[in-house]
Chains A and B, each alone.
Chain A
Amino acid sequence: MAMNKYLVFLEQREGIVKKASIELWNTLQKLVAVHEDIAVCALLAGAADLQLLQATLVGEGAVYCASDHGFSLYNPECYANLVADTFKREACSALFFADTILSRELAPKLSVRLKAALLSGSPVFDAAGVDSGSVRPVYSGSALASFHSDRSLRIYTISSFPIITPTPSRVHIDFIPLQQRCSVSGEELFPLIRMMTMRDGIQDVTEAGIIIAGGRGVGGADGFALLEQLALLLGGVVGASRPAVDEGWRPHSEQIGQTGRTVAPALYLACGISGSVQHLAGIGSAGLVVAINSDCHAPIFDVADYGIVGDAPLVLRKLIDAVQDFLKKK
């Protein structure tokens, strides 16, 4: 059987490789552990903390590091050239990206350039560990659609994974520097990042492990102080539903749902959120869902593991007290 080689794009920002990229590599390594004909390599564009990276990657394979400073900031043309060159040189059959703002721009570009099918969502693997398509929600999460491609090359932007066991035991990763530099002919024709302004000290909702989200039931911008307090205690971040953002209580960057971000935290605490189809479309990959709402018939309870019926600010105050009590006893 022919060898299938997968290329993982490791996305870094300010020298830190994204958690979703690392999870992507580590999950694909589970296929390598059981299928001899599957190999995985990775490409890191831009300089990053390799020691930190080494401590988090499992399995085996080469990580190609293009550390020319021109790759530090995202540059559409340079990145596309670098990924396409690496993909061809390593004779890969599939290219995997974590589903991010960057990959949503870069992957379609590469799909045209490499004449490769572009699939998104959760990948599907056959019995030999070869990728054969993807499944993902459509129509605001009302339906789950399956996609397939017959093309010999495939690109994936991955937002979730099927459950794959086992976890690889061997760890043997080679970090191989690439000399390739960021240069493009006709560069002046293409968009260039002038600057990137990061919000200080606040983790993004798409990367958070715990999200305390609020909706109309929180009552106003002031009510979100309680959510912030609880988020701080639990080491999470604050999210918001569309009504809370439309009211101007929270910034759009915190909006979760169809017209906002899609999130995948281990814990999603929905406070005063009724749970419209559009909102639920953004939390399909959340682990444990806890809902607080004054209306016991609110649809959010249909997708929740635990529920408390009550006025959100009132329940939040009691929750904060309870967490503080627990942390004291620690």
Chain B
Amino acid sequence: MNIAVCVCQVPDTASVIGFVDGLIDLSRVNEVMNPYDEYALEEAVRLKELFTGSVVTVFSIAPASAKEMLRKALAMGADRAILLNDAVLSDPYQTAVALSRALVAFYADTLPDLVFCGKQSTDFQSAQVPAMLAELLGMGAVTGICSLHASSEGLQVERETEGGVESFDVHYPALFSTEKGLNIPRKTSIKSVMEARKKTIDLFSPSLDEASYVVMTGMKPLDRKKRCQFLSDEKELIRLLREERNLF
């Protein structure tokens, strides 16, 4: 079984995103694998362990410095990694087009059996690339899955929706984007890190003749600060909520 996993880099949760002279300052940012992509990779590796002979290939559009992240992906159990060496694309449509072309080129015009992506990146949070990629590839897709059961004939997946759970029957080939709760990504061991060094990271240059659909025109600090009125009496709070704000 051929399994493709798309991963990207994001600032880790401890990173400080600040502004200097009105421009975003990413100098104090430590880049890591997008947490949702770890669920995607973990699920792919588990399926590889289930279906012998499977090959997991990781694809990432990132600068050359992302090799370190790809080494981690290989240490987690991926067989090879493809780095689409380019400036990070901020338009999800362009990202999806570049990924779809890389997949088509890599798999020589056949589709992989499964494609996994994280539900969204934690920096831009657009959550658009997975479903766009599936449409470009002509594959069925379920986004934000929190449960997956695979057999050689097909798959059953679940996702949490507002107020409930949806269960889907899915045929190969298919694309899934992964939500927290699907699995617990494994930690890499010294042995797996050593083994990862023997695996290959290939560089591809994506062809990008597609115009972007959306451009980011500006970014400014988001100030959510309010002036908090401290109260010492619970009755007073309830009176305010009820009589002045009419909330219940």
Which A residues fall within an 8 A CB radius of B?
13, 18, 74, 76-77, 100-102, 104-109, 111-113, 116-120, 133, 137-149, 151, 188-199, 202-204, 206-207, 210, 234-235, 252-253, 258-259, 266-267, 278, 280, 284, 288-291, 296, 301-309, 315, 318-319, 321-323, 325-326
Contact = CB atoms under 8 A, between A and B. Distances in A.
Interface string B9-45: 0010100011100001000000000010000000000
A191 B141 contact: yes
Contacts of A192: 168-170
A309 B237 CA distance: 12
Contacts of B221: 142-144
B87 interface: no
Nearest to B234: A318
| Majority DSSP secondary structure for residues of B touching A | mixed
A308 B230 CA distance: 6
Interface residues on B, range: 35 or more
Interface in B59-112: 92-93, 96
Contact of A267 (B181, B239, B241): B241
Contact of A112 (B96, B238, B242): B96
A306 B229 contact: yes
Given A191-B168, A192-B168, A318-B234, A147 B215 contact: yes
A118 B214 contact: yes
B228 A197 contact: no
Contacts of B248: 210, 234-235, 267, 323
Contacts of A151: 213
A74 B165 CA distance: 12
| Majority DSSP secondary structure for residues of A touching B | mixed
A210 B218 CA distance: 33
Given A144-B220, A199-B163, A325-B235, A138 B124 contact: yes
Interface stretch (B49-57, B128-136, B198-206): B128-136
B93 A118 contact: yes
A140 B130 contact: no
A322 B237 contact: yes
A105 B141 contact: yes
B112 to A, nearest CB: 15
A288 B245 CA distance: 9
B224 interface: yes
Contacts of B122: 140, 258-259
Interface of B: 11, 13, 17-19, 24, 35, 92-93, 96, 122-132, 134-136, 140-144, 146, 156-157, 159-171, 174, 180-181, 213-222, 224-226, 228-232, 234-235, 237-242, 245, 247-248
A266 B224 contact: no
Given A108-B132, A118-B128, A210-B248, A204 B224 contact: no
A236 to B, nearest CB: 8
Contact of B222 (A104, A144, A326): A144
A284 B17 CA distance: 17
Contacts of A323: 238, 248
Contacts of B17: 139-140, 142-143
A133 B35 CA distance: 29
A308 B234 contact: yes
A129 to B, nearest CB: 20
A35 to B, nearest CB: 23
B234 A305 contact: no
Given A145-B216, A322-B234, A109 B135 contact: yes
Which residue among B93, B123, B163, B232 has the maximum number of chain A CB atoms within 10 Å of its CB? B163
